[in-house]
Amino acid sequence: MDMDALAANFLAGGPAAFIRRSDFGKDFVFGSATAAFQIEGAPDKDGRGDSIWDVFAKENNLFHPYHEDAVNHYEKFEEDVKLMKEIGFDAYRFSISWPRILPTGKIESRNQQGINYYKRLLTKLKENGIVPYVTLFHWDLPQNLQDEYNGFLDRRIAEDFGVYADVCFQEFGEYVDHWITMNEPFTFAYSAHVDKVHAPGLGTVKDHLFGTGTTDTAKSTKTEESSNAVDNGVDAGADEDDDDDDGGSIFHPSRSTVHPKSTRNKVMVFKATGSSWASEAEYIDEFAYPYIVTHNQLLAHAKAVEIFKQKYQDPAKKKKIGITLVSMWFEPRNPDDEKDKAAALRALDFFIGWYLAPLVHGDYPQSMREYVNPDHLPKMDDADRKAIQGSYDFIGVNYYTARYVAHSEPKEKHKKIGRNYVTDQKLKYYESRIENGVEVPIGKDRGASEWLISYPKGILGLLLYIKENYNDPLIYITENGIDDHDDDSARLWTSFFDRKRVAHIHDHLIYLLEAKRQGVNVKGYFVWSLLDNFEWNNGFHARFGLVYIDYNNGAKRHPKLSAAWLKRFLAENGVSPAPGSSGNSGIPVDSGVGANNNNNQTSAQTNSPGNCFSPIFVTFNGIKDVFAHFFLNLF
């Protein structure tokens, strides 16, 4: 059957594309991913220090209506490892909380109780045969380092990060073969230092573009308390930045708030005291923040890699170190327009090339050097280049969504406020484009997060782009997933019977397999996320988990349909998308993907999901059997 026929069948609800775990090969790992601040809770337990997220979340009331312990993985980690095991995962990606290991961020504060906690977790994983992939920095910087020298705005962060990494390599090295230095340095640079919706909540670009700021303050370091409200979700497709009314936005469709009730009236005070990235500079231009934060993240990453390679890596390099980068996929809004085609490539440069180009080729992408104010983009001197270039054994890729992009010159009123990350790119982002006179959205299924539109085909485009432009690295998909609203009335159907998530994962796996077949060196896939969790500026209002967390009942765990689906898939039974799933992407598989369809359908249908799925039914007294039947026979 050819590709188009398969897609047509799928869309018509006919025989869908079946995939098998074994199609991916024996050395391909499947896992789920989490991050310390999003699941652990226990902020004051066993000597942990404050991170910038403790402060930011409290100041902005992000824990409402629950609290910082909500998911409580700190206490329940054994139960969570058991769940992973029952689903059938090979691997688990989690992050270590820097302030649990070094509460002040400095070696003098080394905290044995925090270290012991992760040893208990790693031991449990080992007992269950689950391989750890460990991230050192998933945004929870010790608050003390933010207070002392403005965190990642200062070059000193590289030394402190190196010291922290060294402790982790030493203490956990016997358990860990795969280290990830940083998670999504892009998001930390953009959402926390341009968009101010993530800790430490810096950046006033939007205030200036929307007219609440002035040219003068745009150019000075912020030293005063700010009472500017954090912007509540203007990003995706919003049009507050121009008068064209063409549906486009000059903003990255990134983190917006999903719940109108989450109020974030205050942002953290930025206590700049003159310390800066360049020791001779008196202050940092605020519009340079993301570029400087990026540079210092790369230096910190490189420092950790240097220490790892010098002291801990085995000669055969069985132990590996890498970095996790995020990117959307971009298509030109008008595929026949040369400017839009260049715009799509430039959008990739400003997202993932920003990191890959220095890591692989030793400098920022040519387009950034051309488009960004040279006073803002740090120069890559020889020492920095030497440290950064080639400092990875693998690249982790987080992929969630895609957009159409078009070339767009900044408007005069925007030019007046000064060059900044938003207008530097000369891009506009769109959720749809016109094809044969009809408006076609880039994807049909949406997450609860405004920015998340499912576009499975994008994972193929992104992986081929990385392979071709960045020396064909070893890649792990370290995150991919979709979220649901935490909506009381729809909780039962949209949360437990998460067919949208099943379709999302299934369709991405199809394209991932295709990428592998086209020669991409991809060796793993991690679902974001194992558990519903604290979704940053969206608080607990967005649910990304394979396992439902009942926040009102002691964070009780209830595996969802997607967990049951994955259990079947991982147990090597052919699985199809959930009935009624959108299949909005079409299925571009070659004949190999569908080849194993029918012979496995019977065993899949008779295979019980197992007892880890029984707790879910307790919630629905009386109709338990109906749901059980539904679950067991769905596939």
Catalytic residues: 184, 479
Q: Which region among 122-130, 182-190, 230-238, 458-466 touches ligand BGC (by CB under 6 A)?
A: 182-190
Q: Please give the torsion angle defined by the CA atoms of residues 195, 197, 198 and 199, in that order, rounded to the nearest 10 degrees.
A: 100
The tokens of 343 are what?
């715009």
Contacts with ligand BGC, 310-329, as mask; x by CB under 6 A? ----------------x---
Pick from 386, 60, 346, 444: nearest CA to 231: 60
CB nearer ligand BGC, residue 74 or residue 635: 74
The distance of closest approach from Cβ of residue 139 to ligand BGC in the complex, given in angstroms and rounded to an integer, is 7
Q: Which region among 179-187, 259-267, 303-311, 488-496 touches ligand BGC (by CB under 6 A)?
A: 179-187
In this chain, which of 80, 424, 431, 535 binds ligand BGC, going by CB under 6 A?
535
In this chain, which of 68, 80, 331, 479 binds ligand BGC, going by CB under 6 A?
479
Which residue's entry shows tokens 């360049």?
278
CB nearer ligand BGC, residue 33 or residue 272: 33
> Taking the chain, what is the end-to-end CA distance rounded to the nearest angstrom?
22
On the 0-12 / 13-18 / 19+ scale of CB atoms within 10 A, 142 is buried
Q: Please give the torsion angle defined by the CA atoms of residues 501, 503, 505 and 509, in that order, rounded to the nearest 10 degrees.
A: 180
The distance of closest approach from Cβ of residue 440 to ligand BGC in the complex, given in angstroms and rounded to an integer, is 25
The tokens of 172 are what?
């956990």
CB nearer ligand BGC, residue 238 or residue 326: 326
H-type alpha helices, 331-409 = 338-348, 354-356, 366-371, 382-388
The distance of closest approach from Cβ of residue 419 to ligand BGC in the complex, given in angstroms and rounded to an integer, is 26
CB nearer ligand BGC, residue 32 or residue 38: 38
For ligand BGC, how many residues bind (rule: CB under 6 A)? Answer: 11
The distance of closest approach from Cβ of residue 35 to ligand BGC in the complex, given in angstroms and rounded to an integer, is 5
Contacts with ligand BGC, 104-143, as mask; x by CB under 6 A? ----------------------------------------
CB nearer ligand BGC, residue 484 or residue 535: 535
In this chain, which of 72, 150, 183, 573 binds ligand BGC, going by CB under 6 A?
183
The answer to whether 55 and 68 have CB atoms below 8 angstroms apart is no
The distance of closest approach from Cβ of residue 604 to ligand BGC in the complex, given in angstroms and rounded to an integer, is 30
The answer to whether 349 and 367 have CB atoms below 8 angstroms apart is yes
The distance of closest approach from Cβ of residue 479 to ligand BGC in the complex, given in angstroms and rounded to an integer, is 6
The distance of closest approach from Cβ of residue 297 to ligand BGC in the complex, given in angstroms and rounded to an integer, is 14
Contacts with ligand BGC, 425-464, as mask; x by CB under 6 A? ----------------------------------------
**DSSP helix/strand/coil, 610:** coil
User: Quick check: 184 binds ligand BGC (CB under 6 A)?
Assistant: yes
Handedness of CA 354, 356, 359, 360 (dihedral sign): negative
The verdict on whether omega for the bond into residue 529 sits within 30 degrees of 0, i.e. cis, is yes
Distances (CA, A) of 474 to 156, 184, 327, 395, 523: 30, 17, 17, 6, 7
User: Quick check: 257 binds ligand BGC (CB under 6 A)?
Assistant: no
CB nearer ligand BGC, residue 183 or residue 408: 183
Which residue's entry shows tokens 């790119």?
425
In this chain, which of 308, 497, 528, 635 binds ligand BGC, going by CB under 6 A?
528
CB nearer ligand BGC, residue 35 or residue 209: 35
Angle subtended at Cα 401 by Cα 248 and Cα 135, rounded to the nearest 5 degrees: 130
In this chain, which of 6, 17, 29, 35 binds ligand BGC, going by CB under 6 A?
35
The tokens of 493 are what?
């159907």
The distance of closest approach from Cβ of residue 53 to ligand BGC in the complex, given in angstroms and rounded to an integer, is 11
CB nearer ligand BGC, residue 189 or residue 218: 189
The distance of closest approach from Cβ of residue 609 to ligand BGC in the complex, given in angstroms and rounded to an integer, is 26
**DSSP helix/strand/coil, 509:** helix
Angle subtended at Cα 513 by Cα 507 and Cα 518, rounded to the nearest 5 degrees: 130
Q: Which region among 75-83, 96-104, 181-189, 585-593 touches ligand BGC (by CB under 6 A)?
A: 181-189
User: Quick check: 398 binds ligand BGC (CB under 6 A)?
Assistant: yes
- Which residues are CB-contacts of 145 (< 8 A; sequence separation ≥ 6)? 104, 105, 151, 157, 160
**Segment holding 91, helix H or strand E:** strand 91-95
The answer to whether 527 and 505 have CB atoms below 8 angstroms apart is yes
Q: Which region among 126-134, 183-191, 591-599, 621-629 touches ligand BGC (by CB under 6 A)?
A: 183-191
Residue positions counted in the chain? 635
Rounded to whole angstroms, the Cα distance separating 197 from 211 reads 18
User: Quick check: 187 binds ligand BGC (CB under 6 A)?
Assistant: yes
SS (H, E, C) 239-279: CCCCCCCCCCECCCCCCCCCCCCCCCCCCCCCCCCCCCCCC
List of residues contacting ligand BGC (CB under 6 A): 35, 38, 183-184, 187, 326, 398, 479, 528, 535, 544
